[in-house]
Every structure is written in structure tokens, then in C-alpha cells.
Amino acid sequence: MSYIASGQTHLIRMMYGGHPNHDSFQEMLQTFGQLAESKVLSAEKRTETERAQDSLKSLALQMSQSEKYDQQALKTAIAQTKENEKIPDEVYRQIVDFGLPGMAFSEPLGGLEIPYPVFMACLETLGKASPSVGVRYAISNTVMEGLRFNYEAGQLSEYGESILRELIAGEKLAGFALTEGSAAGSNIMKEMITRAVPIKNGNGYRITGSKMFITNVETADVFTVFARTSEPSGDDLGISLFLVEKGTPGFRVGQVFEKRTVENSSLGELILDEVEVSQENLVGKAGCAVQYGMRMLNSGRITIAALATGLAQRAFDEYMEVAVEGKKLGDQHLIELDRTRARVAEMSMEIHAARDMTYHAAWLKTQFDANSDNREFLRDYVIASNGAKLKASLAAQQACDHLVKIWGASAIIKENPAMKHSLDSWLYYFGEAVPEVLENTIAHMEVKKYKKTKGS
């Protein structure tokens, strides 16, 4: 059975059937499916029990090789256990070699120039194999989008362009630093405390503050940091966007969280203690970062939708296995019961809807990118991207929930992945905006559309 869902190939055929590269898009998707299944999925599947067994074996081996209790051997074994807990670097290298980071970027920038919906199909596949690995590249992509449209608008410094090229080539990984610990994430643009002050008689800014719940906190080489550069006045919230590289004096990782979800992705706090950056680090124009942030999040939400669709599909596939081949009630498999069949139909529809909305939003994004001044495209694009994220994150939660339930009590055993999927689905619920914020955004745009058609 192919790791790629038939719905993925159908949609790509529907969108690009007449395109000269349609066959190569399908081939690329199949090849990426093999990589995701054989490398990413198998690395992610190593359960905590397996890891613990590995560490014990390794410890026993090292101790047996020492004549007496060897403290160093113990330390080495513990260090190795930590290493075993991670996705091997080799897996990340293969994803980069495949070209995933630069897949949807233009050839002049060093990208593969593959249509955005095909990139989403690959991200969906990655999300099916491992939400942790998926979110690593999705977040980096959100940053890259912010750099790309500023580059295309002629607003990115040479330094910014060189970072963008390195990200596209997969030589660097990025993080997106918006959320802060002192305010609700949903209201961060209004309550942001992190400040960037122009350096007196200098050519740059000094940034002070902290950022919370930042994905890739330990693994990213560079972050886009949102900071207040002036007091809010009316619609102008006075926020600017900066590139800050790891290793810049005053910039360090604070608390790193152990979490119950996406455990192979690093999440934590960034501290900025009078970090000096030059004018070149400013992305675009000062004071315009709310607009940049919304553009980054509009594309980022489609990537989250793709990952969530992948998780929903995985939970659905596992549900079907239990329902069709798993335990029985008397002499009946669960799939023969009406309630189970209704759930299958419901999940199937929700996943199809999530995927359709995601690829459609991805297609609209490419239309909007080419017509950024067109307000009508903007409204439809924002409705589609926010809607796709909302639909797919809820589809993932629903499928994971049903999977836990169909397993019954055995769902709570650690080796059973159902509960892990369910916990992973919360990343998509919270990450890049909670449902209420998405609903507000969609309704706001629908009202604008309504008023426009009424001429008011």
C-alpha cells in the first residue's frame, strides 16, 4: 500500500493534469512518500520503551566491559541515551538532500520551483510520518516566506537575501519568534513587550525581551524576531521584524520544555539581552511587521493544515486497521457495526474536506503572490488559509479521538501510538492561532466581501 493517500494524487492530477511536469510531480510525491515512510516514520516510531531498552543494553555492555564501576561509562551511556531519543541527523540530511526546504522557491533563488500545492502534498506526507519533523520544516518555511516576499518587493537587505538563500539550500534552519510569555499568544501584537531601540549614533538596533514557545529553539541557526520599535498609534502597532542569528552576543536559549506532544521537536524560550543588530538585520520596513507577520502566518497556516491532514490520515488508517482486522465483538469485526461505519464516513469526509481546502488554499496563495495588490484575492486567500488550518486541525483531533476510543483500554498503554497521535494533534490546534482567532479572521473577511458586493 502506498504511503501517499489516493486523495493526494487525485488532487495533484486535478490541479496539474495538463501541466508538462505533472508526471514528475507525481513521481516526486511517491519518492518523498518512500523517504518519509522508510526513514522518518521508522525513526519516529521508536517508542520510549525501545529507547529505554537501548539505553539499558548500552549501559550493560559498557559496564560489562569495565572491570569495576566506571562513572565515565555511565555518563557516556546516559549521553548516548539522549542521542537515541532524537531523530538521527541522517534523516534530516536526506530531507534536505531531497530539496524539501527550497521546494516551492524560485530557481533564481536556488529553489526547485515546484508548485506550492505539490509542496503541501509533501508536507502532508511528512506530517503523517512525524509531526515533529514536519513542524521543524513548516516553521522554517514560514520564516522563508517572510523573507521571500520582502525580497520580491525589493525590501530585503543583501544580508537578508544571503540568509534566505542559505535557508532555501537547507544549509540553515529558521525559527519564528513572535509569542511571549507575558501575554496571550492570540493578542501578542497588541501586548508585545520585546523592544528594539535604535543605537545612538549607530547603524542598527538594540533588542531586549524574551520569546516563549518557540519551535526549533535549539536547532535553528537564525530567527525572525518581532519587536516593538515605536509606541502604538491607531492602526500602527509600531512593530518591526529582525533577523537574529544564533551566537549573537546577548541572544541565548532560555528554558527548553520537555513536552507531551511533538517530542522530537525542540520548543522553548529565547532571551534577548541588549542584542545589537545592524540595519541590515531589519526585514523590510520598520513598523510594518504586523503586516509581514500576517502574511507569514497566512502561508504558515496552510503548512500547519497540510501537517494536520497528514496526522488525520495516519489516525484514520490505523482506525481502519482496528475496525476491519482488529478486535471483534462476538463474531463481528467492529466495522460491521453501524456506529463504526458512521464514524468512518464522518472521518473520511472530514479528511477529504481538510485536504481539498489545504491544496485549494495553497493554490490561492500562488494566485495572491502573483497579484498581491488585488484585495479580492487577498480576502479569498485569507479565508482559505485560515479555514484550511481550522478544518484540518479539527479533523486531526477528531480522527485521533476516534482512534483512541476504538482501541479501548489498550489505548492507554505507552507502546500504543494512539494516545501519542492524540497529544500531537494539540500542536495543530494551538500552533499559529487557536480556532477562535481563525473564526474571527474568516468572519472579518466575509463581512468585507459582503459589504463589497453590496457596494457599502
Ligand X SMILES: Cc1cc2nc3c(=O)[nH]c(=O)nc-3n(C[C@H](O)[C@H](O)[C@H](O)COP(=O)(O)OP(=O)(O)OC[C@H]3O[C@@H](n4cnc5c(N)ncnc54)[C@H](O)[C@@H]3O)c2cc1C
Binding ligand X (rule: CB under 6 A), the pick from 267, 390, 400, 403 is: 267
- Kindly state the smallest distance separating residue 166's Cβ from ligand X, in Å: 19
Residue type, 52: A
- Kindly state the smallest distance separating residue 449's Cβ from ligand X, in Å: 21
Name the residue nearer to ligand X (CB basis): 253 or 434.
Answer: 434
What is the spatial distance between Cα 136 and Cα 371, in angstroms, rounded to a whole number?
A: 29
Question: Is 433 one of the binding residues for ligand X (CB under 6 A)?
Answer: yes
Name the residue nearer to ligand X (CB basis): 127 or 185.
Answer: 185
> Residue 244: phi, psi to the nearest 5?
-130, 125
Binding ligand X (rule: CB under 6 A), the pick from 213, 251, 363, 381 is: 213
Question: Is 96 one of the binding residues for ligand X (CB under 6 A)?
Answer: no
Binding ligand X (rule: CB under 6 A), the pick from 16, 116, 151, 176 is: 176
Name the residue nearer to ligand X (CB basis): 384 or 433.
Answer: 433
What is the spatial distance between Cα 63 and Cα 367, in angstroms, rounded to a whole number?
A: 62
Name the residue nearer to ligand X (CB basis): 214 or 334.
Answer: 214
> Residue 431: phi, psi to the nearest 5?
-60, 135
Name the residue nearer to ligand X (CB basis): 7 or 300.
Answer: 300
- Residue count at the site for ligand X (CB under 6 A)? 22
- Kindly state the smallest distance separating residue 180's Cβ from ligand X, in Å: 8
Question: Is 178 one of the binding residues for ligand X (CB under 6 A)?
Answer: yes
Question: Is 215 one of the binding residues for ligand X (CB under 6 A)?
Answer: yes
Q: Which stretch binds ligand X (CB under 6 A): 174-182, 312-320, 339-347, 448-456?
A: 174-182
Contact map string, positions 113 to 152, toward ligand X, x by CB under 6 A: --------------------------x-------------
What is the spatial distance between Cα 308 and Cα 128, in angstroms, rounded to a whole number?
A: 8
Name the residue nearer to ligand X (CB basis): 178 or 322.
Answer: 178
Binding ligand X (rule: CB under 6 A), the pick from 434, 442, 444, 448 is: 434
- Quick one: which of 403, 412, 419 has its CA closest to 334? 403
Question: Is 289 one of the binding residues for ligand X (CB under 6 A)?
Answer: no
Question: Is 431 one of the binding residues for ligand X (CB under 6 A)?
Answer: yes
- Kindly state the smallest distance separating residue 388's Cβ from ligand X, in Å: 17
Binding ligand X (rule: CB under 6 A), the pick from 76, 84, 106, 186 is: 186
Residues whose CB is less than 8 angstroms from the CB of residue 444 and which lie 6 or more positions away in sequence, other chains included: none
Question: Is 271 one of the binding residues for ligand X (CB under 6 A)?
Answer: no
- Kindly state the smallest distance separating residue 170's Cβ from ligand X, in Å: 19
Question: Is 436 one of the binding residues for ligand X (CB under 6 A)?
Answer: yes
Q: For binding to ligand X (CB under 6 A), which residues are involved?
A: 139, 176-179, 184-186, 213-215, 262, 267, 427, 430-434, 436-437, 440
